[in-house]
Structures are given as structure tokens and as C-alpha cells.
Structure 1
């Protein structure tokens, strides 16, 4: 369902100045601090830990599951009308996916003992949103210096990496949403089917991001 990097960049540019590396950084801030009814990532993760009776790994699994459901819900609504409302639904879907996945990865990082105020950890959070394939591609082409785990625990913070990682995340999320529109477009004559396609795609991508994050960010408390 993906599209080429150049096409994704072009689509991002057409969407307007809001969809930039700065935009994704702002979404990360919302995810960590909370936005409206959405509690901050730390508070949400702590609540999951309480529900899991202090078992971190149970909390991790439950946290991923809750965000998969959340992603499916926003994916259904923002793709409900298929191609007929693309000008509205594509930006909304980009925003929804970005916020849910930022919130998921930041919460998982907190559960595993990482300090979300640390800029190195924030870069690692954004890198995890690229998923295993995305990270491996950037490592292969030397656009990412190391894995998310290594970024989070690096001895020093590289400010130049901030925009680079955020730009890659923006491009990938927007590219995934645009690519998904092809399947939704086919189903546009049956609105509910279009919503189902969007829900499934966003749920699966969020699940994959959650699982990758859980495998990549090892529990730091075990090392102390």
C-alpha cells in the first residue's frame, strides 16, 4: 500500500505547510502531554501498568491492543466516504494516525523506563514509528546513524538528527495514507466498506509499530 518516496514528498507538499517535520514534532508533544480527552502518554501508560497489576509486559501488550483499536476507530471514520471527501479525510487521517502512533510509542518507551523529556528518547520514539522496514532502509542508506534503541541511549544528543528523523516519519505516514486511498477509492461506492479498509490498514500498521517498538526498546530498568 506504500508509494514511492518522491510521490510521498510531493503529496506532503501539496497538503500544505502543516505537514512538515515541525508538524510531527508538535504531534509528539501532544501525544506526550495529552490533547483534549486524550491523556498524556505517561499517564495512560501508568494506568495500563496499574491495570496489569504492575506487570510491565502485560501492560505493554494491553497498551498496544488499546491503540490498535483506537487506530481502527479513527481509520474507519476518516475513510468512511472513500474518495468523495479526500480533501478533508486525508489530512484528518494523517493527523489521526500520527497522534495515535506517537502516543503508543511514547507510552511504551515510558513503560520500559525511558525519560520522554530526553531529546534522544524523542528521536528514538519517532524512529520507532518508521517500523522495522523503515528503520532498516534508513540504516542501509545511512540516513539514520543507528537503531532506535541506540539513539535513545546515545552518549550525546545530535540536534541535526531531530529534523531528519521527523521528516522521514512525516513522509512515511503521509505516504501510507495516500497509498491506502487507492484501496479505499475502489470501495468508494460502498462507504462502509471504505471505512473498513481504512480501519484495517491503520490497525495493522499501528500493531506493527507497537510490536516493533516493544522488541526494539529494551527495558532499561533491568540494566540498573
Structure 2
């Protein structure tokens, strides 16, 4: 109980919220890193998943290849990248490691969502004269959107938690609060950093769940 009380006092101390090492600045760094890696991951994974899902070819192979990233710890990838020329690019190793970590759920969910679209609906769209591109954008994508957003949500929450590793590579973010706490042998600061990461992850989870509820689960055909 004493640790919890000390942690609360640490979190509510105004001095710990100001400055370059303050919670506010570290939270902004964490959010920027998470959003940047999520955008890059989406730009890589979603076009591939949508095209393969539309064609119905090569999806299983792509998913299996991307899932290899789940079997390799992100920390191990980060350490290996630090030993390569990428390590000289500042945040480069962290960004690459996090992107590799976020791609599998994005690719898998988007591909599965595309393949779960009723093929009769797609054939009806083509029978109405739609091109493959039009059927993809106006029929398959809207119908697969709930599953796609679920993949984005999973990737975002995982990135929030895993981005704490950026501190080990000299980066910013809430992980710096935790590592600084270890360096100072300050248990309240370590616990406070962990609490901040957990609260941030829960906030992201809640935001995406709200967005998913607002997305209509369309089941009809083309209009």
C-alpha cells in the first residue's frame, strides 16, 4: 500500500509533468511514435491485404510470412537492428521494429475481412457492370471495414505497449520514465510509468471501440 501511495504522490506532483523529462512531453513523444508507426504499418499492410483479399490469391502465404514477426521478440529485433547501419538513424531501429510488430494483425484482419465478404454480393456487383476496382472500393472494402478496423485497433494497442522499448534505444516516450526510475532505484517512478502506459493503452482501446461501434455493419449489396 505504501508503494501505491508513493506512486500516486509521484504522479500528482506538478514538477513531474513539466519540462523535457516531464510526463506531458514523454506522453506526446509516445503518442507521436505510436501514431507514426501505425500509419507506416497501415500503408504497408492494408494495400497488400486488400489486393490479395480481392484476388483471393497469395493471402495465406503473405499472412504466414508476416506472422513470422510474431515469433521473434520485438526487443530482439531492436537489438539486432542497433548492430546494423540502421542503428545510426536515430529512431530508425525502433520504428522498423515496431512496424514489423504491427504489420501481422493489420494484414491478417484485413485479408480475412475481405475474404469473408459474401462472394454472391461481389458477383452481383460485377454483374451490374462494376469494374474490379469499383467492386473493391464500393462493395468489398465497406463490408470488410469492421474487421479491418479491428486489426487497426489491435495493432494500435500493441504499439502503445511495445513503444516503451524505444527508451532502451535512447528514444523518447513513456518508457523513459520507467528506465529513469530503474536508474534511480525509484519503485514509485517505475510503477507510475507502467500505470501511464496502461492507461494510455486503455484509452486507445476505448477510442477505437467507440469508432468501431459507429461503423455500420453493412450486409447489403451494392447500391
* TM-score, scaled to structure 1: 0.37
Higher-Rg member (1/2): 2
Looking at secondary structure, tell me which structure has more helix per residue.
Answer: 2
Name which structure has the greater RCO, CA cutoff 8 Å, separation 6+. 1
